[in-house]
Amino acid sequence: MKKKMEKALNKQVNAEMYSSYLYLAMESYFQSISLPGCAKWMRAQVQEEMFHAMKIYDYVHERGGKMQFEAIAKPETEWDSPLVAFEHILEHEEKVTKLINDLIDVALDVRDHAAKAFLDWFITEQVEEEATVGGIVDRLRLIGDGSSGLFMLDSELAKRVFTLPVK
Ligand code: FEO
């Protein structure tokens, strides 16, 4: 694998680890405001992002590359409301989508079609993530200040469990 590709994939592992850390901070935030369902949803998100990081990590090694370890940035830890937190996720996931698109540009630039094929999985994943989070943001906007709607949504989000995707 070309060094440029290896470096770009390395950066993405860090970005996915950061996502995991950010969602862990959100889990803690939701615990602190007594919304256990949202907290549980975040825990699944933490695991999913770690899975993304490890999927890229394994791929780097599969291609004979090596990981570089950099510091993981400190995430925000407080949000003004559940809506603000989920809006933050949506914005964050849109940024991640851009990062994946940039990675594909690198793969095409160095004519690494195997990496491009590998990264296509993440493109589909990002479409799903943005759609799911966008749906929750819409629901929270509709709920507004109504606490009964919020508790209903919280119980619904409590049902989420992370299952390891089949490779
Ligand atoms: Fe790893 Fe939420 O994208």
Domains of the chain and CATH, by start: 3-157 (1.20.1260.10)
Q: What is the mean pLDDT of the chain?
A: 96
At 69-87, the pLDDT tens digits run 999 999 999 999 999 999 9
**pLDDT confidence of residue 167:** 61
pLDDT band at 163 (very low <50, low <70, confident <90, very high): confident
pLDDT score, position 146: 83
pLDDT of 145: 85
Say if CB 113 and CB 107 are below 8 A apart: yes
Q: What is the pTM of this model?
A: 0.95
Indicate if the pLDDT at residue 166 is higher than 80. no
Long-range contacts, 106-115 (Cβ 8 Å, 24+): 106/4, 106/5, 106/8, 107/5, 109/4, 110/2, 110/4, 110/5, 112/1, 112/2, 112/5, 114/63, 115/1, 115/5, 115/9, 115/59, 115/63
Residue list, ligand 1 pocket, CB within 6 Å: 16, 19, 49, 52, 93, 96, 129
Both tokens of 65, joined, read: 């590359």
Q: Whose CA is nearest to atom 1 of ligand 1?
A: 49
Among the atoms of ligand 1, which is closest to the Cα of residue 92?
2
